[in-house]
Structure 1
Amino acid sequence: MSNDSESLVITASGEDKIGLVEGLTRRIADSGCNIEESRMAALGGRFALLMRVSGSWDALAKLEARLPSVGEELGLAIIQQRTRPTRAAKPLIPYMVDVTALDQPGIVNSLANFFARLHINIEALDTDTYPAPHTGAPMFAVHMTLGIPADAHIATLRGDFLDYCDDQNLDATFEPMRS
């Protein structure tokens, strides 16, 4: 049901409780819209959602009109924005990056800076902390999806990234995304 002309991006957050996803997705379906992409997570007792919804013009308008009352009913702060698909100026190759290290402030910023300096877009990013299996030391994991310009020299980029990670004491992988 993808609608390439226009869609609605919804951002919502609130106290995590059972039924939030069901309540919100029911209203989306009742409006005649389709969830195209979404990310949802419970973080520190809070619920956060980012979603792109498609539908006919009137279905999207119906949903837009309903969202303020839905947010109030479900206890969610909701932001909604119409959007259109973007096209990359250059073809992009999707790559996956995984990084693991002892937890310390600044890891994500340092990685983001490395890729921003090279004009490489971070398309998705997930992080987590966990205790190391044998020592219990606090560990930090980052999983990224990158959009690398097709004209980039991948072998050089990969080597530079892995050298950077060695200098920062980060364990990393840098691989093409598999379908």
Structure 2
Amino acid sequence: MQKNFLVISALGEDRPGLVNELSQLISETGCSIEDSRMTVLGGDFAIVMLVEGRWNELAKLEAGLPSAGRRLGLAVQARRTHPGAPAANLLPYSVEVVSVDHPGIVHQLANFFASREINIRDLTTSTYAAAHTGTPMFQVQMTIDVSAALHIARLREEFMDLCDQLNLDAIIEPLRQ
């Protein structure tokens, strides 16, 4: 039996109870959260989630989202989706980069992988102050899908060369699952 999915994204001013109220709405329609990312960015709460359910349960959830969004003070969008295709001949790799914060780091990394037709499956960034000096630091963590046909030693060498040129500390290694 094929599963039915709905991707929901919501953004609004952060306050306690938002996750509770959203998850309650999903649960009450008979749907379940398959995957999600929830975080506070600045003073706003942001969420992206993949919800699974029977087609009629998803329809009920879709119909209730606009009023729930207004009640919760969230800008909500939803879109039907399908199960992702299995990653045939793709190997997941973990990439971690740390550097002194400066503009363009994500773009330079994304450009490197895009130019090699490597998909970035997941990407998280954060900033923090370095211990002792307080220097603004930037951290990127990502999961990429590398074709099994790609010469990984060459990819690793080219990636590390780029990171050396940009003064980035980096690690690229198989994802431990």
TM-score, normalised by the number of residues in structure 2: 0.96
3-state secondary structure, aligned to 1:133 = coil
Number of equivalent positions = 177
Runs of 4+ in 1 over 6 A off after TM superposition: none
Structure 2 gaps of 5+ residues are: none
Is 1:115 the equivalent of 2:120? no
* Alpha-carbon offset, residue 6 of structure 1: 2.3
DSSP-derived class of the 1:86 partner = coil
Q: What amino acid sits opposite 2:13 in the alignment?
A: E
Instruction: Name 1:17's counterpart in structure 2.
Output: 15
Q: CA RMSD of the aligned region, Å?
A: 1.2
Residue among 40, 43, 46 paired with 1:42: 40
**Unaligned ranges ≥5, structure 1:** none
| 1:14-71: CA deviation from partner (whole Å, max 9, x where unpaired) | 0000111100000000000010000010010001000000011111111111111110
Whole-Å separation in 1 of the counterparts to 2:121 and 2:96? 14
Equivalent position amino acid for 1:172 in 2 = A
Letter in 1 for 2:17: G
CA distance in 2, matches of 1:103, 1:4: 45
Taking structure 1 as the reference length, the TM-score comes to 0.95
Q: Aligned partners of 1:52 and 1:148: how far apart in 2?
A: 24
Aligned-pair CA distance for 1:134: 1.7
Structure 1: how far apart are the matches of 2:131 and 2:44?
27
- String of CA shifts for 1:106-157, please: whole Å, max 9, x gaps: 0000100000000001111111111111211111000001011121111111
For residue 59 of structure 2, what is the amino acid of its counterpart? A
1:52-63 to 2 correspondence within 5 Å?
52-63=50-61
Q: How high is the sequence identity, in percent, across the aligned residues? A: 54
Q: Are the aligned partners of 2:3 and 2:53 in contact in 1 as well (CA < 8 Å)?
A: no
Q: Name the residue aligned to 2:168.
A: 170
Partner deviation per Cα, 1:68-125 (whole Å, 9 max, x = no partner): 1110111100000000123267421110000000000000001000000000011111
Deviation at 1:8, TM superposition (A): 0.2
